[in-house]
Amino acid sequence: MASANAISQTGPVRFWDRLNISTKRVIWAWAFLAVPIIFYAGIRFYPTFQAFWLSLTNWDLLRPAQFIGFANYQKMFADPVFWKVFQNTFLYLIIGTPVSLVISFVIAYYLDRVKLMHGFIRALYFLPFLTTAAAMGWVWRWFYQPVPIGVINGFLSSVGIPQQPFLRSVDQALFSILIPAIWAGLGFQIIIFMAGLRAIPSTFYEAAKIDGLGDWAILRKITIPLLKPTTVFLVVFSSIGFLRIFDQVYNMTSNDPGGPLNSTKPLVLMIYQTAFSSYQMGYAAAQTVVLFTILLIVSLLQLYVLREKK
């Protein structure tokens, strides 16, 4: 064994010795980089491309996949439920992202000036982010119940307002789910915004004050423009989060997932049901391709809009 190694080593060793130091460095760097790249290629990229192929088949787990062209896509675009789900997904995004960013910025902006019990208040805001989405979903689900157990309806009834259906309404359910979803993400966004605020050099503010600028002008001319990298990061991060919303919806409507009448169903939940409840893997793959495309477009669009103007 040992002698066999010694013989085979002579070739490569000589070849290795002939290389100069910078080439060696590059080879070493790539050798280390190869591990995560191979891992990613196997775990992420290969399945992604496989999904593109699957979306053109009628695979149902049991029988071998047959190529059926774009039949899954035709079926999907002709399905009113898909368009409803598509609309829901964008509602989560276009309401969830701006609302959560505005609230978290306002809180971070004022929290930054609070000195009294600063750490404690910050911890309170961060706490929901640490909570499991499933547990939180169930707590809110019970908050929204009708009387006699629903806390919110109990309060409404006691002050003489008729009780609201919340999760049992096709109009209110989506917003009822968005509220805890936004609340859960606030802690993280506040922390990031505060870090961004702290990173703005105080000399800018001092200079502005000397020039006699008011608070509003300072906010508009200095704080918000200089926070741009933070904002870009949070917009992309939170958009992807809302586009992929699942836990809150599934846990708050698990008797009728995405209901009532699909009024809260996001794309991810539809994919989950198609794949793991109806076992239509090909159709689910087609839906996944659509989600992938949306995520890609939204991310690129945001990076373009919020890009650094040189």
Partner 1 sequence: MRKAYVAGLAAGISFIAMGAARAVEIEYWQYVFDSRVQAMDQLIEKFEAANPDITVKQTTFPYADYQTRVVAAKVAGQGPDVVQLFYGWTDQFVNGGLIQPLDPAVFPHEEIEADFFPIVSAMKRGDDYYGLPTAVRSLALFYNKALLDEAGVEPPQTLDELLAVAEATTKRDGSGNITTAGITMDMAGQDHHWWREVLVRQNGGVPYDAEGNVAYNDAAGAAALKFYTDLQTEKKVGLVGFMDEGQAAFRAGLAAMTIDGTFRLGAFADNPFEWGVVELPADANGMRSNYSSYFANGIGATSTGEELAAAQKFLQYISSPEAMEIWLETVGELPARRDVALTEANLADPIRGPFLKGLEYAQTTQFYDEAAQRQTAIDMVNRVLLEGQSIEDSLAQAATAEQAIIDQGRQ
Helix axes 173-198, 118-130, angle to 10 degrees: 140
Q: Does 170 bind partner 1 (CB under 8 A)?
A: yes
Nearest CA among 303, 284, 306 for reference residue 51: 284
Q: Does 279 bind partner 1 (CB under 8 A)?
A: yes
**Which residue in the set 167, 182, 269, 271 belongs to the binding site for partner 1 (CB under 8 A)?**
167
Shortest CB 96 distance to partner 1, Å: 24
Alpha-carbon gap, residue 249 to 233, rounded angstroms: 25
**Cβ-contact 122, 191 below 8 angstroms:** yes
Q: What is the DSSP letter of 171?
A: T
Shortest CB 148 distance to partner 1, Å: 5
**Which residue in the set 51, 109, 121, 157 belongs to the binding site for partner 1 (CB under 8 A)?**
157
Q: H-helix or E-strand containing 98?
A: helix 80-111
Q: Does 63 bind partner 1 (CB under 8 A)?
A: yes
Shortest CB 246 distance to partner 1, Å: 15
**Which residue in the set 53, 117, 256, 292 belongs to the binding site for partner 1 (CB under 8 A)?**
256
**Which residue in the set 54, 141, 176, 267 belongs to the binding site for partner 1 (CB under 8 A)?**
141
Q: Does 69 bind partner 1 (CB under 8 A)?
A: no
The residue (of 11 and 148) whose beta carbon lies closer to partner 1 is 148
**Cβ-contact 274, 284 below 8 angstroms:** yes
The span of 43-51, 200-208, 230-238, 274-282 binding partner 1 (CB under 8 A) equals: 274-282
**Cβ-contact 261, 238 below 8 angstroms:** no
Q: What is the DSSP letter of 259?
A: -
Q: Does 164 bind partner 1 (CB under 8 A)?
A: no
**Cβ-contact 72, 286 below 8 angstroms:** yes
Q: Does 277 bind partner 1 (CB under 8 A)?
A: yes
Nearby residues of 224 by Cβ (< 8 Å), 6 or more positions away: 231
| Residue 24 CA neighbour count, 13 Å, CB half | 8
Shortest CB 287 distance to partner 1, Å: 15
Q: Does 261 bind partner 1 (CB under 8 A)?
A: yes
Subset of residues 80 to 109 that bind partner 1, contact rule: CB under 8 A: none
Q: Does 175 bind partner 1 (CB under 8 A)?
A: no
**Which residue in the set 164, 169, 231, 299 belongs to the binding site for partner 1 (CB under 8 A)?**
169
Position 41: which residue type?
A
Q: Does 163 bind partner 1 (CB under 8 A)?
A: yes
Written as one string, the DSSP assignment of 180-199 is HHHHHHHHHHHHHHHHHHHT
Alpha-carbon gap, residue 250 to 223, rounded angstroms: 38
The footprint of partner 1 (CB under 8 A) covers: 61-63, 141-142, 145-149, 157, 162-163, 165, 167-170, 255-256, 259-261, 273, 276-279
